[in-house]
Amino acid sequence: MDAISELLLIVLVVLAFLLLLTGVGVYFLVKVGRKAATKAKQATTRLTTHVNAMGTGDAAEVERLRLDLRREVSLTRQAVEQAQQQGWGLGDLPHLLADLTRQADVHDAQLGMYAQQRRVSPYVDHATLGKLREHQAKLTAMCARLRADLLGHQVHHAGSGIDDLHARTDLELEARRSTPDPLDEIDELYRKTMEERRDRP
């Protein structure tokens, strides 16, 4: 009886362990599945935007505005991240970029709603489209200004590094040149003087 109960206990422990592993596996599969679904939804939205931007009319123009805005914000984010990786003192720029990104997301949602309404309804609200274009221009101009400022600072810093390297190279090359021996110079002057005396009639 004791052998059977021990065997039964071992089997139950193994089953409990396998059940625990199965639960953990299912948990991680659900997490991965949710992330994949979120990524797929984002990719679908981007693909839909690209397809809709290929058309003509106000809706397609608004979709192109959305793509332009996403590209500008992405380029600006990359520029700021690159500057952070290089150890630049950016001050409040990362927070400003976060605010700009949030505002761009709000504007993107507004553009998306307008494009959807424009595709469905033949009635156009030209005043809203004008405001959306105006906001678009301001947001993309801010992104361009931020990138231009970062690039200007990087070029200035690189230029000072190049100037420093140039000066160090000149010093090193000057140090490597052999200095003329004063005795050799005296010998050369003496030789020239003697040759000049011989050449005189």
Task: List, for residues 82-111, the tens digit of each pLDDT value.
Answer: 888 887 777 888 899 999 999 999 999 898
Q: Is 36 helix (H, G, I), strand (E, B) or coil?
A: helix
Domain residue spans of the chain: 1-40, 55-177
pTM of the model: 0.57
Task: List, for residues 11-69, the tens digit of each pLDDT value.
Answer: 888 899 889 989 888 888 888 888 888 887 776 666 666 555 566 666 777 888 888 88
* Separation between Cα atoms, residue 84 and residue 87, nearest integer Å: 5
